[in-house]
Amino acid sequence: MQEKDQNNPEHHLFIRPVKEFRLSDLMEIFRYRELLYFLTWRDIKVKYKQTVFGVLWVLIQPLALMLLFTVVFGKFARLEQDLKVPYALFAFAGLLPWQLFSRTLSATTGSLLSNEHLISKIYFPRMIIPLSSCLSGIVDFLIGSAGLAALMIYYGQMPTANIVFLPLFLILMMMTALGIGFWLSALYIEYRDVGYIVPFLVQFWMFATPVVYPVNIIPKEYLWIVALNPMTGVIEGIRWSLFDYAYAPGKLFFLSLGISVFTFISGAIWFHCREKVFADYIGK
């Protein structure tokens, strides 16, 4: 919020943070859309700068994990017999969105500190910083989607009409990652312990989410607990929208949906409330 000093004839301009979250704050992000584009493009270029394989790393990582889990879970644990699709395709369809979620979560958490030179010198909506980290990850997902399409062609698995819902599940996933990123990035400014917690959180969260195992192996009486994990609805929904998957989103999906929306809104409000103290903790 900008104010003019009425007691000074030169009318100095003061920039003061507002206390409450308003819809006009979202419009302010739109006014700074060129900065958002610049920061997003910068993150993309830095990510692939001076790399030998470049964008191939986006495909190499999920493919390597897919092969590992196919042997361990698909062959040894024999989970493939309970699926309508080959386990390799099942696993890759879960690993690809999870990779985007985990990278977005990690990038948004440290985004404020990595841009401390901007925060301490110029004014702009601080929410743009984690948002740019989130948007840059979409490029990785689009590249990885080419690998998923190749696998579907290889296994002769054509997408169903449900694919029209795929963008909705992707938006829900980005909302979840960004909402948690708002919480963690604001906390990371004040408490650097968060930087040690996030890697452990991502690893634990992956195995608490049906990324490499089908949700039907979980007893029905415990499914509501699994649905408390917002990524459960996202991963299962993406699989359902891509191919003939046995487990369509049901009532428990709306529980995951509600938690995702709540996480995003509460994270945005928390981030905005703590925004006024960011510059005080930068450099400490």
pLDDT in tens, 30-57: 888 888 888 888 888 877 776 656 677 7
Backbone angles phi, psi at 163, to 5 degrees: -65, -20
Task: Supply the DSSP symbol for 20.
Answer: S
End-to-end CA distance of the chain: 26
Structure confidence at residue 188 (pLDDT)? 87
Average pLDDT of 13-22?
51
Which of 80-94, 110-124, 169-183, 231-245 shows the highest mean pLDDT?
169-183
- For residues 104 and 174, the answer to whether their CB atoms sit within 8 Å is yes
Determine what percent of the chain is predicted with pLDDT higher than 70: 85
Buried b or exposed e, range 109-144, using 16+ CB within 10 angstroms: bbbbbebeebbeeeebbbbbbbbbbbbbbebbbebb
What is the C-alpha to C-alpha distance for residues 280 and 265, in angstroms, rounded to an integer? 25
What is the C-alpha to C-alpha distance for residues 213 and 191, in angstroms, rounded to an integer? 35
Token reading at 226: 């699994």
Backbone angles phi, psi at 4, to 5 degrees: -105, 140
Average pLDDT of 163-191?
89
Structure confidence at residue 279 (pLDDT)? 66
- Scan for tokens 């299962």, then name that residue: 236
What is the C-alpha to C-alpha distance for residues 176 and 267, in angstroms, rounded to an integer? 10
Structure confidence at residue 95 (pLDDT)? 92
What is the C-alpha to C-alpha distance for residues 59 and 146, in angstroms, rounded to an integer? 9
Structure confidence at residue 13 (pLDDT)? 47
What is the C-alpha to C-alpha distance for residues 7 and 152, in angstroms, rounded to an integer? 69
Structure confidence at residue 44 (pLDDT)? 81
Which of 17-21, 32-36, 76-80, 116-120 shows the highest mean pLDDT?
32-36
Structure confidence at residue 80 (pLDDT)? 73
What is the C-alpha to C-alpha distance for residues 47 and 111, in angstroms, rounded to an integer? 14
For residue 15, what are the β-bridge partners? 2
Q: Domain residue spans in the chain?
A: 2-281
Average pLDDT of 111-128?
81
CA atoms within 13 A on the CB side of 235: 30
| H or E, element range at 4 | strand 2-4
Average pLDDT of 122-140?
85
Q: Which pLDDT tens digit goes with each residue over 224-279?
A: 888 888 898 889 888 888 887 666 667 777 888 888 899 999 998 888 888 777 76
Structure confidence at residue 52 (pLDDT)? 59
Q: Which pLDDT tens digit goes with each residue over 132-166?
A: 888 888 888 888 888 899 999 998 888 888 899 88
